[in-house]
């Protein structure tokens, strides 16, 4: 066998191992697991946001309720003062009117506050409902996630044996590959899954770049491999 044939055999073993690893990464369960992991993260973020919203709404509500209480108290005081005033024979009509205007203003303010409180309560109710929905969805997703994870673990264990065999095969071939060729292979392998490619129609079949005549002549005349200047793949003449 020639040096090139050993190198190609090595690449074949490498590709087989890559294929096994790739299969494991793209099983149906693994794809579903990836999807549900993403979904879970989104749901966790949504729950976090809803919790913060609910906290903020709760704080705003407490503030409004305190205002409401203060205003109600003020109104009560005004009412009793009004009664005293009305019983007073010396009070003028202007004074009474002024007082009434004041009470009406307070009443309007209280009405506005009540409306705000109601709006906020509605918001809080919706936030709480959304939160419960998100949590229940999240719980279901978590169960499915756990199930898929277990399936993927089994697949991984089963696949590991095949990958170990492929790795051993690769190591066996590796010992037979010319060290210079091997070094080139490892260098090109950093960027390419299939680092050794033939020259086809005077072009690198990896990147389609035209190969200079001098390089082709060199490949034809000697048992050698050369790197493509464009993509760095290892070229050989078929």
Q: Distance (Å, rounded) from C-alpha 69 to C-alpha 65? A: 6
Q: Give residues with Cβ within 8 angstroms of 62, minimum separation 6.
A: none
Using alpha carbons, list the distances in angstroms from residue 55 to 62, 81, 236. 11, 40, 68
Nearer to Zn ion, 173 or 204 (CB): 204
| Residue in the block written with tokens 């305190």 | 66
Please give the residues from 122 up to 161 whose contact with Zn ion meets the rule CB under 5 A: none
Nearer to Zn ion, 64 or 234 (CB): 234
Please give the residues from 219 up to 238 whose contact with Zn ion meets the rule CB under 5 A: 228, 230-231, 233
Please work out the total of residues on this chain that contact Zn ion, with binding judged by CB under 5 A.
Answer: 8
Smallest gap from residue 209 Cβ to Zn ion (A):
5
Q: Distance (Å, rounded) from C-alpha 33 to C-alpha 153? A: 11
Please give the residues from 186 up to 225 whose contact with Zn ion meets the rule CB under 5 A: 204, 206-207, 209
Q: Distance (Å, rounded) from C-alpha 161 to C-alpha 17? A: 11
Q: Which residues pair with 234 in a beta bridge?
A: 196, 227
Task: List own/partner pairs for 25-32 with CB under 8 A and 24 or more apart.
Answer: 27/152, 27/155, 29/148, 29/151, 29/152, 29/155, 30/152, 30/155, 32/148
Smallest gap from residue 232 Cβ to Zn ion (A):
7
Smallest gap from residue 229 Cβ to Zn ion (A):
8
Nearer to Zn ion, 33 or 211 (CB): 211
Smallest gap from residue 170 Cβ to Zn ion (A):
24
Nearer to Zn ion, 24 or 207 (CB): 207
Q: Which residues pair with 200 in a beta bridge?
A: 203
User: Sheet containing 203-204: which strands, arranged edge to edge?
Assistant: 203-204, 196-200, 234-236, 226-227
Smallest gap from residue 1 Cβ to Zn ion (A):
25
Nearer to Zn ion, 33 or 215 (CB): 215
Smallest gap from residue 43 Cβ to Zn ion (A):
46
Q: Is 111 helix (H, G, I), strand (E, B) or coil?
A: helix
**Is there a contact between 201 and 211 (Cβ–Cβ < 8 Å)?**
no
Nearer to Zn ion, 91 or 200 (CB): 200
Smallest gap from residue 225 Cβ to Zn ion (A):
13
Please give the residues from 2 up to 41 whose contact with Zn ion meets the rule CB under 5 A: none
Nearer to Zn ion, 166 or 215 (CB): 215
Residues that bind Zn ion (CB under 5 A): 204, 206-207, 209, 228, 230-231, 233
């Amino acid at each position: 066998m020639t040096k090139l044939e050993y190198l190609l055999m090595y690449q074949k073993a490498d590709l087989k191992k890559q294929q096994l690893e790739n299969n494991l990464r793209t099983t149906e369960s693994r794809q579903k697991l990836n999807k549900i992991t993403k979904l879970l993260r989104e749901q966790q973020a949504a729950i976090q946001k809803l919790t913060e919203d609910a906290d903020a709404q709760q704080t705003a509500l407490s503030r409004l309720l305190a205002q409401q209480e203060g205003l109600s108290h003020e109104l009560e005081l005004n009412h009793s003062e009004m009664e005293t005033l009305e019983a007073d024979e010396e009070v003028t009509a202007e004074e009474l009117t002024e007082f009434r205007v004041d009470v009406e203003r307070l009443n309007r303010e209280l009405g506005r506050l009540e409306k705000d409180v109601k709006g906020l309560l509605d918001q809080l109710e919706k936030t709480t409902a959304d939160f419960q929905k998100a949590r229940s969805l999240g719980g279901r997703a978590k169960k499915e996630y756990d199930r898929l994870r277990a399936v993927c673990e089994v697949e991984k264990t089963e696949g590991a044996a095949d990958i170990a065999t492929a790795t051993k095969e690769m190591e066996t071939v590796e010992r037979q590959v010319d060290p210079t060729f091997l070094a080139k292979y490892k260098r090109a392998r950093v960027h390419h899954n299939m680092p050794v490619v033939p020259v086809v129609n005077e072009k690198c079949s990896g990147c389609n770049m035209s190969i200079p005549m001098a390089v082709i002549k060199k490949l034809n005349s000697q048992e050698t491999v050369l790197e493509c200047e464009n993509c760095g793949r290892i070229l050989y003449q078929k």
